[in-house]
Structure 1
């Protein structure tokens, strides 16, 4: 029995069924048919999201005003205890000088003590010990040269590294400028492409910042370090520039 039949109708001819039952069946069938067509029509007419993805780049240079220095004390001797004591005494004098000059970010970066061997007839004999202590600090570039000379006079005998850096405030400002330039670059690229195609931007769907990291310090070439350490005159120290780069990716609906 279908949904329109009654028990007494099944025994009669369809031509004798009530007109209201026939009309109800037609109405329900029409409604179901239209509803199905309506779902298909809505799916077919759903708009396709059209997007354009562009990546802009920004670059900002900032002058370095600080110098990061790695100074070391190295001592050779026959007895390990004697070597270590000399390293400690000379390093303490260097650290006291650096603290008196109010350097920034003073820290110990390495302490070593190891034996030296003489290899003869296939045997390794200890002939002495080598000890070292390395400290790192930052100071204004214009004061770095005289301070290095004073530290060497106080007991340091190694210049293991010199790097130039900008202040945190200057790097933060440069980072914001690089991000702004990258965003503007991405917008200009999108506008150019859409104008050529006679299209217009509608809204930004997503934004991704791909980079605006702090750049690495600028190292002084090794040859320059050696010549400066061996010079009899005051050690010259000249900084440079750090470059902050940023990339911004925009997804734009058109």
Structure 2
């Protein structure tokens, strides 16, 4: 596992820049985030752990400025991936706008060769890496949460790293809201519901929340829950082939 070092001199080139973002808090995460770097070995068709140290820039980005520093005949781009870890948080690896896939286990990128005279063939841009609350996330007092599991509809096997979401809009001003989490290796989830759901007249008065779970494109599930009456239930979302 790499350690982060402050940048004392300017970083000329880095094949990748990452900004960890705590989605629940709504801000960049500057402490408590660790990374592991792997290089893909085509001969072995496997990822190989690397000891290359990451550095943290003054703007809180994580970078690898020495990766790709080589030149010579036959120098080719190398494929890498970075895996993130933070207590209570789970990394969402697909970038914004990309389809979710639970099998994606890191952020992949290529390191293009460069030296003091020749810059890399492709320059990188900062990449936001969203960190979602996990099952063990320390929600503060008064935060409403619901718990359960995501399983396959036919196999009943737990689905690890599934994306569980709830969304809606506030009744007063129509501002959209979104809550998200990822399941743990046992398929369990714990999702915050800080906002209001769809009101249902009583008695008793309730709110309906529509939960969805995604394993990958074409494999999803959904479940409606009523609060507060179903708050303490174990909610099971079944993944089906679409």
TM class by shorter-chain length? under 0.3
Larger relative contact order, structure 1 or 2 (CA cutoff 8 Å, min sep 6):
1
As a proportion of its length, which structure holds more strand?
2
The TM-score normalised by the length of structure 1 is 0.24
Pick the structure with greater CA Rg.
1
Question: Normalised by the size of structure 2, how large is the TM-score?
Answer: 0.25
